[in-house]
Amino acid sequence: RKEVEQDPGPFNVPEGATVAFNCTYSNSASQSFFWYRQDCRKEPKLLMSVYSSGNEDGRFTAQLNRASQYISLLIRDSKLSDSATYLCVVTSWQQNQGGKLIFGQGTELSVKP
Amino acid sequence: DADVTQTPRNRITKTGKRIMLECSQTKGHDRMYWYRQDPGLGLRLIYYSFDVKDINKGEISDGYSVSRQAQAKFSLSLESAIPNQTALYFCATRGPGAASYNEQFFGPGTRLTVL
């Protein structure tokens, strides 16, 4: 079983749609959680961190459920520019491990006109 | 100018050849990482370094070696390239401190093809 699992998609949605991505992680010691965005095989870039209380950044809302080991990302009012691959990322602080990032395989989103 | 640069950006080589991928950063970060990305597998950690005297293996270090020549430079070598090392390679940096919320910053990637 992979440490971080995502539905690979692709998700094809019309502009203006709301789309939700789910992610599960297997290591209960995981401490930090992120969503990264990757455009067309370019480098990943941090989209947002995910906090236990849930957090929102404009049209993006991230949720964390530690009991279920589940992370989600909700995108409202999708734009063409949201088309990308969204990577679920977790990290556990282990001594001398430096907060190693564990990546899901990514979920591809395509927003159509 | 980009904070994290990688050279070369694209490379085609033959089985058995030695190849070096280079990474430089101007962010002043102490932590540097090398990942590879394969379709359907996500990014996987090859090696990481906390400073010039601290090198650690990641989950897939076999067939690779690294050198931290300076705080700003971290090189990845394939001593004898094989076709299943064909992948997209990313270098990343992270700032100091214990806060695991610290963001990692990625270079633009090197697309390596081993024939």
pLDDT, tens digit (0-9, with 9 covering 90-100), for A73-104 = 999 999 999 999 999 999 876 644 566 788 99
**Does any CB of chain B come closer than 8 Å to the CB of residue A4?**
yes
Please tell me the distance from the alpha carbon of residue A40 to that of residue A102, in angstroms, as a whole number. Answer: 20
User: Which amino acid does the sequence have at B15?
Assistant: T
Among A54, A50, A8, which Cα is nearest to A33's?
A: A50
CB count within 10 Å of CB B109 equals 23
Pairs from B48-52 (Cβ < 8 Å, separation ≥ 24): B48/A98, B48/A100, B49/B74, B50/A98
What pLDDT does A41 receive?
74
- Phi and psi at B85, nearest 5°, equal -95, 5
Average of per-residue pLDDT across B83-111? 86
**Closest residue of chain B to A50, computed from CA coordinates:** B101
Residues of A in contact with B108 (CB under 8 A): 42-43
How far is it, in rounded angstroms, from Cα A71 to Cα A102?
Answer: 14
Q: CB distance B100–A4 less than 8 Å?
A: no
**Contact status of A99 with chain B (Cβ, < 8 Å):** yes
